[in-house]
């Protein structure tokens, strides 16, 4: 095991997939507990709360983490690395401060616009300490990954998720009623605990000095500005179906059905997002040191490996959607089974688009990535609005599948133009992976 973990790819994949798997696993288990404890309308509010906070945090991370990783991994100078870390932390705190002000001034309006009364606003205000905690959590995460280390990130996420799981299980066992603001407060405390754990693993990478520079700030914004905008657009793109459903169908429960379907479809996204964390530092280095040929090879091999796992998993969920929804959300959410099937079709082609966006950012084509994400979002908004208006409840899911199918073709065409990537090569690598898996499995069975 020690010999295996000495390889960057094996070590990084091991911890990154464990991290993503733990997030999904605990998120799923927590969801199973909460969906059986909260009324459908409150589950819809909880889902929208997670949408708002996730869009903010992942968008901020797309600006800071990618820039942090690129500038630190490409520099050997300690002063420069310290300036990058300090400038990144300053921007991190400033953006969070602006978001907190937006909550205080516009939280009530957003809650009313989404037909949530005061519930969503109350949750967002209760989560303000958690937003402050995320400044430290995300900064420590970027520090770890910029040094090609994933162990502390896994530990921090694991402890954070485990702590929240223990709290809600104790609530259930002791039969203490849940309240939405209290859940937000619990989540805040768990974030601080996770940040402390990542800090313990990151101490050897810290310089313990705060020396942001104007040049470094410009570099981060210059590199990450498009990535920030692209990340914002991409995250809105991923969650716009739930937001539009809340706006177009104001019964409060429709969002809960869409969230249930989304939770299950996320199972096939775990390898894809883990791969993005691993691939970004390597493609950044390869684009500078080895050229587009190496970048193309890394992209095609990674996408092929991901599709080998996502397609079989997706097919299983596609065939047995009612079984999956009954196990995870309960029989009262069976109406979301068709939504799951549509989401899974979208998810099976997701790795190509996810890795394409990640690759464009890593090779310095963040402006092009932003343009493609913006066009995809505009198309999804228009198509989803039309589908919701004419189809109703299932409209957003149908619109999302149509948009994802069109976007997959466009993104792959762009990758072919940029680095020469093509689908037949990816299919060939997939076949090679399946042959390798079959051969190794056959040898193992014969040996047994």
pLDDT digits (tens, 9 = 90+) for 151-177: 778 888 889 989 999 999 898 888 888
Nearest 5°: phi and psi at 7? -80, 135
State the pLDDT at residue 299.
Answer: 76
Task: Concatenate the DSSP letters of all residues of 27-50 into one string.
Answer: HHHHHHHHHTTS-HHHHHHHHHHH
Neighbours of 9 (CB within 10 A): 10
Which residues are CB-neighbours of 32 under 8 A, at least 6 positions away? 328, 329
pLDDT at 6 over 50: no
Residues 6 or more apart whose CB falls under 8 angstroms from that of 196 comprise: none
CB-CB contact of 71 with 219 (8 Å): yes
Whose tokens are 């405390």? That residue is 189
Kindly report each contact of residues 154-158 with a partner whose C-beta sits within 8 Å and lies 24 or more positions away, as own/partner: 154/15, 154/16, 154/18, 154/19, 154/22, 155/197, 155/198, 155/201, 156/194, 156/195, 156/197, 156/198, 156/201, 157/19, 157/22, 157/23, 157/194, 158/18, 158/19, 158/22
Q: What is the mean pLDDT of residues 119-146?
A: 90
Percent of the chain beyond pLDDT 90? 14
Conformational region of residue 249, where left means phi above 0, alpha means psi within -120 to 50, and beta covers everything else:
beta
* Euclidean distance between CA atoms 106 and 100, whole angstroms: 10
Residues 6+ apart with CB under 8 A from 122: 180, 181
Looking at residue 289, its pLDDT comes to: 53
pLDDT exceeds 60 at position 336: yes
**Average pLDDT estimate for 228-238:** 72
Q: Which of the residue ranges 97-111, 222-236, 279-293 has the most confident prediction, judged by mean pLDDT?
A: 97-111
Query: Is the pLDDT assigned to residue 4 strictly greater than 50?
Result: no
Domain range summary for the chain, segments of one domain joined by +: 4-438
pLDDT surpassing 70 at residue 10: no
Q: Using one digit for the tens of pLDDT, what is the confidence trace for 45-72?
A: 888 898 899 888 887 877 777 777 777 7
Mean pLDDT of the chain: 80
Q: Which uninterrupted H or E stretch holds 98? A: helix 78-113
Predicted local distance difference test score (pLDDT) of residue 43: 87
The mean pLDDT value for 395-404 works out to: 88
Q: Cα-Cα-Cα-Cα dihedral of 347, 354, 231, 293, to 10°?
A: -170
Residue 17 confidence (pLDDT): 63
Q: Contact 88/64 with Cβ under 8 angstroms?
A: yes
Closest CA to 179 of 191, 167, 190: 167
Q: Which of 55-59, 102-106, 144-148, 317-321 bottoms out in mean pLDDT, i.e. has the lowest? A: 144-148
pLDDT at 2: 46
| Residues 404-431 pLDDT 10s | 888 888 888 888 888 788 888 888 878 8
**Is 67 or 448 the better-scoring residue by pLDDT?**
67
Radius of gyration of the chain (CA): 22
The pLDDT of 201-212, averaged and rounded, is: 80
pLDDT of residue 373: 81
**N residues, the chain:** 448
């Amino acid at each position: 095991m020690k010999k295996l973990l000495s390889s960057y790819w094996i070590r990084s994949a091991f911890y990154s997939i464990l991290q993503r798997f733990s997030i999904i696993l605990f998120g799923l288990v927590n969801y199973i507990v909460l969906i059986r404890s909260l009324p459908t309308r409150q589950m819809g509010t909880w889902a929208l709360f997670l949408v708002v906070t996730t869009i903010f945090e992942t968008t901020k991370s797309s600006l800071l983490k990618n820039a942090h990783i690129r500038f630190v991994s490409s520099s050997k100078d300690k002063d420069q690395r310290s300036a990058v870390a300090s400038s990144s932390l300053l921007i991190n705190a400033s953006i969070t401060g602006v978001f907190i002000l937006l909550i205080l001034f516009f939280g009530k309006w957003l809650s009313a616009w989404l037909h949530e009364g005061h519930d969503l606003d109350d949750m967002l205000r209760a989560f303000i300490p958690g937003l402050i905690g995320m400044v430290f959590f995300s900064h420590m995460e970027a520090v770890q990954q910029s040094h090609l280390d994933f162990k502390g990130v896994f530990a921090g996420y694991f402890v954070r998720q485990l702590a929240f799981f223990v709290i809600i299980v104790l609530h259930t066992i002791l039969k203490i009623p849940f309240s939405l603001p209290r859940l937000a407060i619990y989540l805040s405390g768990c974030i601080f605990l996770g940040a402390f754990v990542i800090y313990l693993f990151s101490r050897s990478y810290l310089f313990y000095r705060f020396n942001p520079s104007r040049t470094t700030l410009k570099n981060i914004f210059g590199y990450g500005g498009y990535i920030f905008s692209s990340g914002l657009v991409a995250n809105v793109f991923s969650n716009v179906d739930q937001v539009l459903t809340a706006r177009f169908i104001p019964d409060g429960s429709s969002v809960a059905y869409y969230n249930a379907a989304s939770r299950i479809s996320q199972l096939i996204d775990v390898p894809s997002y883990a791969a993005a964390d691993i691939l970004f530092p390597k493609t950044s280095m390869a684009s500078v040191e080895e050229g587009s040929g190496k970048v193309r090879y890394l992209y095609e091999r990674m996408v092929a490996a991901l599709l080998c796992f996502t397609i079989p998993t997706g097919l299983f969920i596609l065939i047995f959607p009612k079984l999956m929804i009954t196990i995870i959300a309960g029989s009262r959410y069976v109406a979301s089974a068709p939504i799951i099937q549509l989401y899974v079709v979208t998810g099976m082609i997701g790795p190509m688009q996810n890795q394409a966006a990640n690759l464009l950012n890593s090779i310095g084509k963040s402006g092009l990535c932003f343009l493609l994400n913006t066009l995809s979002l505009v198309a999804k908004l228009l198509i989803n609005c039309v589908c919701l208006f004419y189809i109703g409840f299932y409209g957003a899911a149908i619109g999302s599948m149509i948009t994802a199918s069109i976007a997959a073709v466009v993104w792959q065409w762009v990758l072919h133009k940029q680095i020469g990537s093509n689908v037949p090569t990816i299919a060939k690598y997939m076949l090679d992976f399946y042959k390798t898996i079959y051969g190794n499995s056959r040898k193992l069975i014969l040996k047994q």
